[in-house]
Structure 1
Amino acid sequence: MVLRLVLGVEVVVVVCAYAPHVGLRDQEKMEFWDCLNGVVRAVSREETIFVGGDFNGHIGKDGDGFQIVYGGFGFGDRNEPGRDLLDFAVAHDLGILNSFFRKRDSNLITFTSGGRNTQIDYLLMRQHDRRRWRDYKVIPGETATAQHHLLVADVVLREKVSRMERKGRSRIRWGNLKGTNITMFKEKVISTTASYLVGDANQMWEDMAASITQVAKETLGVTTSRTNGNKESWWWNEDVQSKIKDKQQSLRDLLRCTNKGERWRLREKYKNDRREAKKAVTEAKNTTYRRMYARLETKEGEHDMFKIAKARERRRQDLGVVKYIKGEDGRVLIKEQDIKQRWQNYFNSLFNGRQTNQRETDNHAAQRQQRNNSYCRGITQGEVRRALRKMGRAKAVGLDNIPIEAWK
């Protein structure tokens, strides 16, 4: 089973595997490893991968020949399935987390049955992600099943998760075109476009459009992003900014302090500053919302009501929330340029490849014959009778509207 997660700007692929047990044939074991090799090879190097599951093998305490993927801390003796797991890790440059942390035997045993304790469940990650590994252990008191113990691994996915950059553009405040601004805008447009009414029609239109746009920017103003794209900070004021700075400074002082007594005082100061910052934010939001609600009830606030409704409608649209998409090779694309390129290729093949697809689908009779040649086991009379017996009396009718129970 493969699960892909998009966390910020990082794609995490989780692979859950269950290897055949010792008593099965070698052919089935080879099919499992071939399938798992194909799954791992399909994961791009840009994606973070976790491989975990029950591999029904023992890697043992000795790491002879596998020091690259084996950390030196294991349990029990190595067997042949354990060697297959180590070979698989070497082939894909994966490290076995179970062996890279020194633990007691109780925190290494993953399977208990009939008084025997073994280690057959493992977690693997790529070697170049080793700096992200923090800890690993087995919790003896918790059982995922009746015999298997719960494995826990602490992994840092990203120290600093950066938000996806949103390229914004300034917009003209056409909502300010009212009152005295209408007369001022009209006079400026007439005075600036009078000289453009001669010459080529296309050039006249371009010059006039540029002039109107420039006049609108000077008269009505343009939107500016003072909050660095933060939609929820429109209620920001100087009091909130001051309280937030005090809280941040208290936190920095607390982290830098090494004296135990002074650290306790700084911790109390940080809690108090944090409480004051939350209070200031709440008061600023409440004040701003009260002003907005009071304005919406006036005649001038009707325009704002339509703006809010349009903004909510845009957020509900699917295209407005597309942050990632699957590429042709199965990889998850999260960069804006890659997503645009994927849509371009898709529509190019959709519209330009129609003639090729038409030629391929001309012989409909041959296609139907090919589908009919596929094997499908017939339904026996015994299966039909057993299904009818399980049905309630007089609950189903045939084509003649007579209950099945009447003619069974």
Structure 2
Amino acid sequence: MGDLNGHVGVDRDGYNNVVGGFAIGNRNREGERLLDFCVLNNLAIMNTYFKHKDEHNDVKSIPSLSCDSDHRMVKGKINFIQPKSGKGPVRKRFTTEKLINPEVALQLAQKVEENYTEPETRDIKVEWNKFRDGIKKAYEDVLQPKTTGRRKKKNTPWWNEVKEWVRRKNKAFRIWMKTRRPQDRQEYVSRRNETEIIKRNSKKTAG
């Protein structure tokens, strides 16, 4: 592919499956095009998935080897351990995003009040455990916990609402990559922005 001079930046919004947690800097236009290319072809920018050190003793350039360009051959050693799929720690979390709904927030407050009991002993540990268990029970009743940390195929009904928008965005992208005309790029950017808005709104509605 050559040197694209693309900087993808630290912002992962909309590109969580493409950019890892160790990207740096700000995004430029070439980086934006690179991200779109990766999304279209189901690729990831792997050097953003690893923490970079100030010194890399196992990487060096070879200036004596001519590449017939202003670039230099780089020699390096990488130890890559493939993560085991589905073996991560399994955790449960409460769906606190539902609290944005005032009715759900009121229901939770009522449950907490119902589960609260006046202290019956002078034992702080006993009373604290009772208070903690009452809060937890209220959250379990109102904000049903869900399992996180294990990879699994998710059922996302909101996708049916946005897949047509994604199809239009990808079509506009392919046209622009073929023609390279400014008006086609503007059409693609417009489609991309519309799709992101529709996607966010659909997720909020589904949540």
Given the two structures, how large is their TM-score scaled by the length of structure 1?
0.22
Greater RCO (Cα-Cα under 8 Å, separation 6 or more): 2
